[in-house]
Structure 1
Amino acid sequence: MEYGKVLRFHRVKQGLTQNQLADGIISPAYLSKIENDQTVPAFEVLELLYERLGLDFHDSSNSHPSKEKLKEWYESIVFKDKEKARTLMNELLEQKDTHENHHLYIFFELFRIRHLLLENDVEKAYEVWEDIRQHRDTFDEEMEFYYHVVSGLLSYYKGNFDQSFQSLMEAKNHSSSNTVQLFNWEFSDLYYLLALSTSQANHTSASVFYVDQALEIYQSRYDLEKSADCHILQGINYSKLKNYAKSLENYYSAKKIATQTHNRNQLNLIYINIGNLESLLGNHYNAIKNYINSINFNDLDTPYKQNYLLTTIHSLMLEHFRLGDYKGCLEWVLRGENELKNYYSEPHKHHFYFYKLMINGDESLLNHLEEVLIPYFEVKKEHIYIIRYSMVLADLLEKKRMYKKSSEYLRLAMKLLNKHSHLGGTFL
């Protein structure tokens, strides 16, 4: 057992200095050596130090029953069983060891970060992460593994996808240690998280590799829901690689599973992505059909509804506009504005207002694009919309024979397209 790390952890947690803990027992310098595992003191010294901190010197947590419950809690979090996760967390909170045992406390806090993310409390999760990292010099290899996993997730939630990938790769490195014993489902979870972060960071080939790794384990466990998630992500990856046949094949595999398991959230997401693919291929009627199917499956009061409903309505507006069906476009604008009352979104408010101005031929459109819309998305670094609206503005300026300014916005769009080639596709 690493007594030095335990002593340092509880001393810092209780707000004691080395002088205060060592007073009357040993010198502060000797305590520093103990905490840094540079020496092994006599048991009598350790017992006195433990006693001052209110700890049981003879306690061992590596094979502690609570450790098994902690891992059970973590599994329920990973597989998004919210009810079970809440129940187990409350049971763990009632146990004295969860708070007082260094080993158990560290794991509890690391797992709690992921639980808070499951509950969509990102800011609180970040606070817990900030607090627990001050004890990082007391971590063993296993703790380091989970620390890097939750660090990767926090970066992912904050949109720092490259940083997320780096943290998850650190977790992968720690997972190969002989002292870290992981279950098969933990490896599949790690591979899937790596696949997500690399996909978002546009390391698409790497994401394809990690999806395959995760999918192999999920299929061996007959985990249909996770397998469908993998197929959806793989469909997105192959679409980025312009292998549209392979992309569609994965979407249909996911659709087959989600239909079998009656997972309406997955079906909603699958139809959105098939709609995106059809739109990319210029099949606007098929895109509309799939987007409407996605809305029909987006009828549950879940985060999926808030995250995807307005985006799908925006896509429907865009498809109708490309077809020259301005009446149909305006109908979806009105539907979108109505949904904003329940699921407010500043970006979508801007999108909906733009189409109103565009369809009605409003004279203020040109100024609105230049003074409001493009600057707004520049601040948010939403490159796809900067490109889209810059191209619209360039076209409007050219029609007014304002060629110099038109070319400026066209250059802006082309510069961003070259820098972010994955954003290629059809625009207005």
Structure 2
Amino acid sequence: MSIGHKVRYLRKKKQMKQEELSKGICSVSYLSKIENEILQPSDETMQLLLNRLGYIEETNALTRIQELLTKWNITLMKRDEKESKNLYHFFQEKDFINEGIHLEYRVLRIQYSLQQNMLAQVRKELMNLTEKIIDMPLKTRFYFFKHSAYYYYHVGKMGEAVTNIIEAQKFISFLELSTLELADFYYAFSFVNSKNNDTKTAVKYAEMALSSYQTIYMLTKCVDCHILLGICHKRNFHYDLAFEHYEAAHTLAKEIDYQEMLHPIIHNLSSLYSILGQHDEALGLLQELYSELSNFHSYTSARIVLSLVKEYCKEGRKSEAAQCLSKIYLAIQQDPSLKSLGSEYIFFDLMLGDQFEKLDREMEKTIIPELMKQNKYLTLSGFCDYLGEYHVEQSRYKKSSYYFQLGKELLVKSIQKNTGVKI
């Protein structure tokens, strides 16, 4: 609740007229402007009004709220779901008269909502807070842009995600941040840039994050950093380094019983085996992961299914591929967080159904534009090579030449994007 609205709420609750509240403090018209958010009163005027309303916000009470907000921020960064939820419910029952603290709470609530996958609520809050950015303390602004970047990643708008994380970076030199806060930002900066296929930047900041997390013994986040570095080195064709980081992540995750990341680690290892042509090893790992899945509505599960479908297709096992693909049909259609996987699903669905004429149309209409937008050049290059081979078999050489040429251009684009080397 804003300051002006709070004053009006408390006045009406006490059944006071504006004349009674303002007498000796300010004019009635001045009070009316405060209550209608037309002007911001001085701290002295505000305190006098609050005192008369019987709402004295003690300094130690404000300090306590600030301490709890800081604690909530730490629990969110550490992914302590139980304590985060307790603090969320605690703050829901509080009235905030201090606007700066209220804004800090609302921005932290965005981070909490993101972790709970409440994307519609986050979108609404971001829209409501945009006009309040100028009123935010610098640190609150920093977190606003950082959390905005994560939101835009979740809804597949990578351009906006990068813009917001760069905006957050501008505040770093003006703030006194803890090692945990810096590490969390370095990881966020690396993560967003990796999703935008800027792996050079992603590697730099992931290494900075890993070093910072190691100094404060945040072992779960060290696992996350090793995974991210493995992904980036794989994209840069540094397969030895990729294996090194995946193995480090796997070993550490088992040591600390970090169960939720074991599947993503094994999934990434399978991807590396597939790239190196070791399809039996890749297929074995993916089949093991698939057999353990119970929820097909998460991004990780959908990603595992698509990878298994791809490996089955390479082995010519189309019926098994189609059966797997059907498991994520509803999730892809209904879950906004899986929107970025829609084009890959459409490709496999049409290909497995032998609907190649429709697939050609969808490539031009949807798949190529969408995967280009997501910078998934390597994935798209593989699709083009597959279609090129198909059209050769059908003696459609002009069409096959188009796909082979496009696949080659995309592969070059992927190398240039990930390594910065011009070819």
The one-letter code sitting in structure 2 at the alignment partner of 1:416 is L
Q: Give the counterpart of 1:245 among 240, 243, 256.
A: 240
1:286/1:67 Cα in 2 relative to 1: closer, same or farther (>3 Å)?
same
The one-letter code sitting in structure 1 at the alignment partner of 2:395 is R
User: Given the alignment of the two structures, is residue 103 of structure 1 paired with residue 103 of structure 2, yes or no?
Assistant: no
Report if aligned partners of 1:168, 1:194 keep a CA contact under 8 Å in 2. Answer: yes
User: Given the alignment of the two structures, is residue 387 of structure 1 paired with residue 381 of structure 2, yes or no?
Assistant: yes
User: Given the alignment of the two structures, is residue 10 of structure 1 paired with residue 3 of structure 2, yes or no?
Assistant: yes
Cα-to-partner distance string for 1:339-381 (whole Å, 9 max, x where unaligned): 2367455556534534534xxxx5xx43132234553313533
1:216/1:62 Cα in 2 relative to 1: closer, same or farther (>3 Å)?
farther
Partner of 2:328: 340
TM-score normalized with structure 2 length: 0.78
Note the C-alpha offset of 1:67: 0.8
Partner of 2:411: 417
User: Given the alignment of the two structures, is residue 316 of structure 1 paired with residue 308 of structure 2, yes or no?
Assistant: yes
Q: Give the counterpart of 2:361 among 355, 371, 377.
A: 371
Could you tell me how far apart the structure 2 residues matched to 1:42 and 1:10 are? 11
SS of aligned partner of 1:64: helix
1:423/1:318 Cα in 2 relative to 1: closer, same or farther (>3 Å)?
farther
User: Given the alignment of the two structures, is residue 167 of structure 1 paired with residue 160 of structure 2, yes or no?
Assistant: no
TM-score normalized with structure 1 length: 0.77
1:333/1:95 Cα in 2 relative to 1: closer, same or farther (>3 Å)?
same
User: Given the alignment of the two structures, is residue 210 of structure 1 paired with residue 205 of structure 2, yes or no?
Assistant: yes
Partner of 2:177: 182
CA RMSD of aligned residues (A): 3.7
Report if aligned partners of 1:151, 1:164 keep a CA contact under 8 Å in 2. Answer: yes
Aligned length: 389
Could you tell me how far apart the structure 2 residues matched to 1:375 and 1:146 are? 38
Q: Which runs of 5+ in 1 are unaligned?
A: 1-5, 16-20
Partner of 1:18: none
SS of aligned partner of 1:340: helix
**Larger relative contact order (C-alpha < 8 A, sep ≥ 6)?**
2
Could you tell me how far apart the structure 1 residues matched to 2:83 and 2:202 are? 31
Partner of 1:353: 349
The one-letter code sitting in structure 1 at the alignment partner of 2:324 is R
Report if aligned partners of 1:251, 1:270 keep a CA contact under 8 Å in 2. Answer: yes
Partner of 2:138: 141
My pick for the range that moved more, 146-155 or 188-197, is 146-155
Q: Which runs of 5+ in 2 are unaligned?
A: 9-25, 334-341, 419-423
Could you tell me how far apart the structure 1 residues matched to 2:386 and 2:46 are? 73
Partner of 1:199: 194
Could you tell me how far apart the structure 2 residues matched to 1:22 and 1:202 are? 59
Could you tell me how far apart the structure 2 residues matched to 1:367 and 1:87 are? 55
Partner of 1:331: 320
Could you tell me how far apart the structure 2 residues matched to 1:411 and 1:14 are? 68
Could you tell me how far apart the structure 1 residues matched to 2:42 and 2:260 are? 58
1:269/1:391 Cα in 2 relative to 1: closer, same or farther (>3 Å)?
same
The one-letter code sitting in structure 2 at the alignment partner of 1:184 is T
For residues 257-268 of structure 1, the aligned pairs below 5 Å read 257-268=252-263
Could you tell me how far apart the structure 2 residues matched to 1:343 and 1:157 are? 15
Report if aligned partners of 1:191, 1:211 keep a CA contact under 8 Å in 2. Answer: yes
